[in-house]
């Protein structure tokens, strides 16, 4: 797949870089604008493209990472988006969305700037369905999980984040249903100040974690609610369960797991302030670090994340805003493994003209058995 997508990815990257010289990039680019006209089927289509190019540099305060691809500079989840909205009748539209993750250094084979074995491209999302103000939105495919939409997204707002979130700590967020869930049927309906979510996870193919074992999702489901107290204050609550089997082909052994994650998060954006806090309880979800099918997932663990920042308007020297912030997280196993980590840090984000942005963060981390600091720089170009 990586080899077959490489020419496509190269073409996409080249087209975007060329387009950067032509567009003032700050929003999605509309290639076809919807304006329904009788007898003109194409006039019913709205088609947009967008994306983000994200080079990043991580440097630990020790010399442990000296010469690593992260210290040398790497791609931090660059992606390209394609969305379509086709008006059918009344207030019902057919919608489709595709998001392609691109590892630019891997595409161009820039040595020491990507992880060994890293793929050139990855499918982040691909789904289709129907949208209606009256009946809600129903979509199928690989898409954000209900848990991420309701809980995770609220604290996924700085660079070195999601370290204590379920979507970043399971066996794979695409397969276990916690992040970009594959083969997911998802429904969303807004009722006044409340957004209701529900999803069904179909069985999936085996996932190979690279240790000789095989993980297979048998099924699952999730539910969530977002309540908007005010336009600036939102509280979310979500639950996700997954029925899975861990198989060991070498011994022909297997074990069934009922995986549960429950989480809640609060987002508050009064004026120039941004505050968010969230947490979750994870049952049979985080790994024990043991390569045995019947002891692969830890019984219980929890994670919390928090953020506080203030945006200063600048409007000079191509700098739109400056946002200093404080952030942190905590991940702790209650049973099944002796492990915990605690991160605290400060950051500064500069939003520049033409869709450019630069972030700096210093994070101090304490994990079981060690502690270290890290300096992080991420550059952005959003279009």
Question: What's the per-residue H, E or C state across 68-103?
Answer: CHHHHCEECCEEEEEEEEEEEECCEEEEEEEEEEEC
- Among 26-40, 236-250, 292-306, the range scoring the smallest mean pLDDT is 26-40
pLDDT in tens, 286-303: 999 999 999 999 999 999
Give the list of residues 6+ apart from residue 142 with CB closer than 8 angstroms, or none. Answer: 123, 124, 125, 126, 127, 174, 180, 181, 182, 183, 184
Whose structure tokens read 């088609």? 47
**pLDDT class of 36 with cuts at 50, 70, 90:** confident
pLDDT of residue 117: 86
pLDDT of residue 63: 67
pLDDT of residue 179: 97
Cβ count within 10 A of residue 41: 9
* Paired residues of 367 in beta bridges: 341, 370
pLDDT in tens, 175-214: 999 999 999 999 999 999 999 999 999 999 999 999 999 9
Cβ count within 10 A of residue 134: 8
* Paired residues of 331 in beta bridges: 303, 341
pTM reported for the whole predicted model: 0.90
Cβ count within 10 A of residue 9: 20
Measured CA to CA, the distance from residue 29 to residue 383 in angstroms comes to 7
Is the per-residue pLDDT at 377 higher than 70? yes
Length of the chain: 383
pLDDT of residue 260: 97
% of the chain at pLDDT higher than 70: 92
CA 369 distance to own-chain centroid: 29
Give the list of residues 6+ apart from residue 324 with CB closer than 8 angstroms, or none. Answer: 309, 310, 312, 346, 347, 348
pLDDT of residue 10: 44
- Among 114-118, 167-171, 233-237, 326-330, the range scoring the smallest mean pLDDT is 114-118
pLDDT of residue 14: 41
Give the list of residues 6+ apart from residue 254 with CB closer than 8 angstroms, or none. Answer: 245, 246, 247, 248, 293
Is the per-residue pLDDT at 15 higher than 80? no
pLDDT of residue 4: 40
* Paired residues of 128 in beta bridges: 96, 140
- According to DSSP, residue 114 is labeled S
Whether the Cβ atoms of residue 197 and residue 237 lie closer than 8 Å to each other: no
């Amino acid at each position: 797949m990586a080899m077959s997508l490489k020419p496509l990815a190269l073409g996409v990257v080249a087209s975007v870089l060329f387009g950067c010289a032509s567009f003032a990039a700050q929003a999605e680019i509309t290639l076809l604008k919807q304006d329904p006209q009788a007898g003109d089927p194409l006039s019913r289509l709205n088609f947009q493209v967008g994306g983000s190019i994200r080079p990043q540099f991580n440097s630990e305060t020790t010399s442990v990472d000296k010469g690593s691809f992260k210290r040398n500079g790497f791609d931090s989840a660059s992606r390209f988006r394609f969305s379509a909205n086709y008006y059918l009748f009344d207030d019902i539209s057919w919608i489709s969305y595709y998001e392609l993750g691109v590892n630019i250094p891997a595409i161009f084979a820039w040595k020491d700037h990507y992880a060994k074995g890293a793929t050139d491209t990855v499918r982040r999302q691909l789904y289709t369905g129907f949208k209606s103000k009256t009946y809600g939105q129903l979509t199928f495919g690989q898409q954000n999980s209900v848990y991420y939409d309701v809980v995770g997204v609220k604290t996924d707002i700085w660079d070195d984040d999601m370290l204590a979130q379920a979507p970043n700590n399971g066996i794979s967020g695409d397969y276990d249903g916690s992040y970009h869930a594959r083969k997911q049927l998802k429904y969303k309906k807004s009722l006044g100040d409340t957004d209701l979510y529900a999803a069904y996870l179909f069985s999936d193919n085996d996932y190979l974690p690279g240790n000789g074992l095989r993980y297979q999702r048998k099924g699952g489901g999730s539910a969530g609610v977002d309540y908007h107290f005010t336009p600036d204050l939102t509280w979310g609550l979500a639950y996700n369960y997954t029925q899975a089997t861990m198989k060991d082909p070498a011994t022909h052994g297997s074990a069934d797991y009922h995986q549960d994650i429950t989480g809640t998060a609060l987002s508050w954006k009064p004026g120039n302030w941004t505050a968010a806090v969230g947490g979750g309880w994870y049952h049979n979800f985080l790994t024990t670090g043991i390569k045995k099918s019947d002891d692969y997932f830890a019984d219980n663990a929890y994670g919390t994340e928090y953020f506080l920042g203030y945006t200063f308007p600048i409007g000079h020297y191509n700098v739109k805003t400056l946002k200093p912030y404080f952030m942190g997280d905590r991940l702790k196993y209650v049973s099944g493994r002796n492990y915990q980590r605690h991160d605290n840090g400060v950051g500064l984000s500069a939003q520049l003209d033409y869709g450019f942005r630069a972030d700096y963060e210093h994070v101090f981390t304490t994990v079981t058995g060690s502690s270290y600091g890290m300096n992080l720089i991420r550059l952005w170009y959003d279009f």
